[in-house]
Structure 1
Amino acid sequence: MKNEKEYMRNLNLEAAIWYLFTSAEFFEAAACECEKTMEWFGSLAISRKVSDFGRNNQIYEKFKQRARDFKRGAELARLGDYELIWEIAGCINGDVRGMMEQPLHSWMTEAEHREFERVRIGRLITYAGQIESALNNAMTGAEIFLDEGSGGDSDDNGFPGEEIVEWYNEYINFYKDPIFQKLPDPLPEYVVDTSVACRTGDEVPWTGVWYPSTGLEHHSLTFAIKGLRMQPAYKVIKTNEELEAEGGSCATPETVAVATTWHPIIPSGRQAEAEKELRAKAGELCPKTGIWKPLEPGAAQRTYKVGEAMANLGSAYGITVWCWIADC
C-alpha cells in the first residue's frame, strides 16, 4: 500500500502557515530584518571608517529602501493589494547578488563576512522566498494557465504538495534567533466553506487561503486575491525523491496544472484538537461530518455526514478504510 503519510495531511497546520506567510505582519517582519541588517552593516562600516568607500553606502541605502518597501507593501496588503510586496520579494535575490559582488573581504574579517552572507543575508532571502512563493500563483497562475498561446504552464511556482510545511520546519529553528513567528499551540481550527466556490479562471470573490476540490492528495492549498482570476491546482506527478531516483537533479517536484473548483478555508473560532487520525471502516457509521479519503491509491475523497454508512470500494487490500481529512 502507498505511504499513508500522503493521506494524513494536517489541514490546520498547512492553513496556518499559508496565512502566516501571506500576512501583513510577516511582511513587516521582513522590513524589520532589513532594518537590523542595515544597522549592523552601517555600524561595522563606520567602525572601520569605510562608510563612504566604494558601494558600501549604496548597500546601506539599499537595505533602508527595502525596509520602506516592505512596510509599504504590508500597508497595501492590508488594503487587498499584494502587487508591491510580491514585486519587492522578487527583487531581493538580485539585490543580494549585487552586494556580494563588492570587495567586502577588503575590510570585513572572515567571521564578519560569514555573518553578513550566511546569517544576515540568509534570513532576508528566506523571508523574501516564502513571500514570493506564497503569492506567485495568486499573481500569475491564472494568466499563464489560460494563455492558450503559451500552451499553459504546468510548473507550480508556489509550494507543491505539502512543501509549505517542510519549508516552515526547515527554517523555524535554523537560525539562533527564530526567523519566523512560531504558530500558536494549539493551532486554530480551520474549516472548508463549501458554500462558496470559485472555478479556475473566474474572478476571486475573497482574499485568503483556498482548498481545491481535487482534495489534498498530491495537491496543495493556495492563496488567492479578491478581484484577480483564480489559478489552477497543481498536481504533483513526480516527487523530488522520484526524480532523484531517475537521475535528475530538479529542486522541485514535477507538476501538472489542472482546472478545478476552490473553496475558502476559514478559521472556525475554535482551537484545533490535538492532531490524531480519525478512521472508519466500510460499513461503519460515519463518526464525524466532513471530507473523507480512502486509504488506497487513486480513490476519490467523499463527503459524509454523521450516521451515514461508509462505502466499501472493493479495495484490493481488503475492506476499505476511510480517513477524515477536513470539515466541509
Structure 2
Amino acid sequence: MRDINREAWFLNYVTSIPYYEACAQATEDFADLFNRLLTKHDGHGIGNLDGWVSRYLNHAEEIRRRIEFVRYGDYMPMYGQLSDTNRDFRGLAEQNIYGWRTPAEDRAWNMALEHMSSLCGVGAQALGNVYWRGKLWADDQTNCVGRNEGFSKGASDALDFWQSLGLIPFPEQYPKYEVDYSLSCKTGDVCPRNGVWVPQQVLNEGLEHLHIEFAQQGRLMPPLFRFHLEKQVDENIVNYLREMGEEPDLDAYTSEEAISAMEEAVWHPLVLVSDPISKPIQRGRIEAKQSCPRTGYWWTLAREDSRRLFSQGEVMPNFADSRYGATIWYWDEDQKDQ
C-alpha cells in the first residue's frame, strides 16, 4: 500500500545534497575503475577511451559544482547535469569497451556503470516535472498532456524497485510529515517554497493513481498527473517473431504502462515533523584498511587472482607495492564458489 510519509521521504532523499554527493562519488568511482582497468590492460591511447575517463571525471566535478547551486535553492543546473551523466553511455557504448577485461572485471565495470547511471537517473527523474511541466501548462495545456516526466506510477513504485537493488536505503522508521495548510499554490502559479508538495486531490482521495511532487521555489507549479495502467504489447518484437515464422507468447511481451492525464490542482507543502532512522547503503567498492561492509567475494586489481571471501567487519588488506596506487576492493556480482 502506498504511504504518503514514505513517498515524501523518498522525494526529499533523492533531492538532498547527500544524495547528490553520492551521485558525484559514484561517477568518480566509475571513472577511477575504468582508468585502473585501462592501466592493467595497456589500454591507454586506444581509441578515445582515455577521453571518456576524463569525461566522467568532469561529470563528477560538475555534479559537485552544481551542489553549490542547490545550497542556494536552485535545482535546475543539477537536473541538467544528472540527465547528461545518465545518458552519456550512449556515446561510450560506441567505443571499444568490451572483450578485453576478465569476467570479474566486466562485472565490476558494469556494476559501477549501472550504479552511477541509476543514481543520476533517479535524481533527474525526481526533478523532471519541475523543469518544464508548469511552464507548458501556462503556455499551452495541450503541450503537456500525458507528459509526466517524474515517477509516472507514483514514487512508491520507483522506491520499491531501487530499494530491491540496494540503490536506496531501507529506513528503520520512515519520518512523519504534516500538511501545511497555511500555504498553497495552484498549478501554473509561482511556487513559493522548495520541497515536497501534496495536491488537494490526494488529500481528498488518497494516493492511488495520483502523486505528490518535489517543487522548486520560483518556478511554476506543475499540474497533477492522474494515471491509469494499460497493458501494452511490444509490437516490434511480436512482429519480428511472426516474420521469423514463430507465434509469440503475447503475455511474455506485454507490460503495464502508466497513461497520464493532467489536471489543475491546489498544492500544499509537506512539513517534516520527525526524523528518519536510516541504515547506510552498502557500496560495491571499498578502500583497503576499511572494514568489509558485507560478507561475500571481493577482488582487487592490485593483485592477480585476488578474489577471496571476506566476512563483514573484516579489515580489507592493502598492497602498498601495487602499480595501481591505492588498493581498491570491488564486490563480485558472481558470488558462487569457484
| Shared fold (TM-score, shorter chain, > 0.5) | yes
CA distance in 1, matches of 2:255, 2:222: 24
> Which AA in structure 1 matches 2:201?
T
Equivalent residue, structure 2, for 1:265: 270
Residue 12 (structure 1) shift: 1.0
- Residues 41 and 254 of structure 1: CA distance in aligned 2, closer, same or farther (over 3 Å): same
Equivalent residue, structure 2, for 1:239: 229
Deviations 1:229-263 (Å, cap 9, x if unpaired)? 10000001x215x4569989576400101011000
Deviations 1:88-112 (Å, cap 9, x if unpaired)? 1211243111112111225323443
- Residues 32 and 243 of structure 1: CA distance in aligned 2, closer, same or farther (over 3 Å): same
Which among 81, 86, 91 is matched to residue 98 of structure 1? Answer: 91
> Which AA in structure 2 matches 1:129?
G
Residue 169 (structure 1) shift: 2.2
CA distance in 1, matches of 2:127, 2:183: 21
Gaps of 5+ in 1: 273-328
> Which AA in structure 1 matches 2:177?
Y
> Which AA in structure 1 matches 2:193?
W
CA distance in 2, matches of 1:56, 1:210: 43
Which among 141, 145, 167 is matched to residue 179 of structure 1? Answer: 167
> Which AA in structure 1 matches 2:19?
F
Which among 145, 159, 179 is matched to residue 192 of structure 1? Answer: 179
Equivalent residue, structure 1, for 2:132: 140
- Residues 40 and 190 of structure 1: CA distance in aligned 2, closer, same or farther (over 3 Å): same
CA distance in 1, matches of 2:256, 2:52: 30
Secondary structure at 1:105's aligned position in 2? coil
> Which AA in structure 1 matches 2:131?
M
CA distance in 1, matches of 2:276, 2:89: 40
Which among 25, 44, 50 is matched to residue 43 of structure 2? Answer: 50
CA distance in 2, matches of 1:243, 1:104: 34
- Residues 249 and 145 of structure 1: CA distance in aligned 2, closer, same or farther (over 3 Å): farther
- 8 Å contact from structure 1 (residues 32, 67) kept in 2: yes
Equivalent residue, structure 1, for 2:18: 25
CA distance in 2, matches of 1:151, 1:137: 13
Residue 17 (structure 1) shift: 0.3
> Which AA in structure 1 matches 2:261?
V
- Over the aligned positions, Cα root-mean-square deviation in angstroms equals 2.4
Deviations 1:55-74 (Å, cap 9, x if unpaired)? 11111101100111111122
Gaps of 5+ in 2: 235-249, 278-338
> Which AA in structure 1 matches 2:124?
E
- Residues 34 and 183 of structure 1: CA distance in aligned 2, closer, same or farther (over 3 Å): same
- 8 Å contact from structure 2 (residues 163, 170) kept in 1: no
Aligned residue pairs total: 257
CA distance in 2, matches of 1:96, 1:146: 34
Which among 229, 240, 252 is matched to residue 220 of structure 2? Answer: 229
Q: How does 1:73-88 map to 2 (within 5 A)?
A: 73-88=66-81
Give the alignment's TM-score, normalised by structure 2: 0.70
CA distance in 2, matches of 1:68, 1:160: 30
> Which AA in structure 2 matches 1:160?
S
CA distance in 2, matches of 1:99, 1:140: 28
Which among 129, 132, 154 is matched to residue 146 of structure 2? Answer: 154
Equivalent residue, structure 1, for 2:321: none
CA distance in 2, matches of 1:52, 1:251: 45
- 8 Å contact from structure 1 (residues 186, 271) kept in 2: yes
Percent identity for Structure 1 against Structure 2 = 25
Deviations 1:182-235 (Å, cap 9, x if unpaired)? 253222111111111000011100000000111123110001000111000000
Which among 113, 119, 124 is matched to residue 121 of structure 1? Answer: 113
Equivalent residue, structure 2, for 1:316: none
Does structure 1 residue 34 correspond to structure 2 residue 22?
A: no
Moved more, 98-107 or 26-35: 98-107
Residue 149 (structure 1) shift: 7.7
- 8 Å contact from structure 1 (residues 155, 254) kept in 2: no
- Residues 173 and 67 of structure 1: CA distance in aligned 2, closer, same or farther (over 3 Å): same
Equivalent residue, structure 2, for 1:256: 261
Secondary structure at 2:59's aligned position in 1? helix
- 8 Å contact from structure 1 (residues 27, 73) kept in 2: no
CA distance in 2, matches of 1:152, 1:188: 33
Equivalent residue, structure 2, for 1:14: 7
Give the alignment's TM-score, normalised by structure 1: 0.72
CA distance in 2, matches of 1:109, 1:270: 45
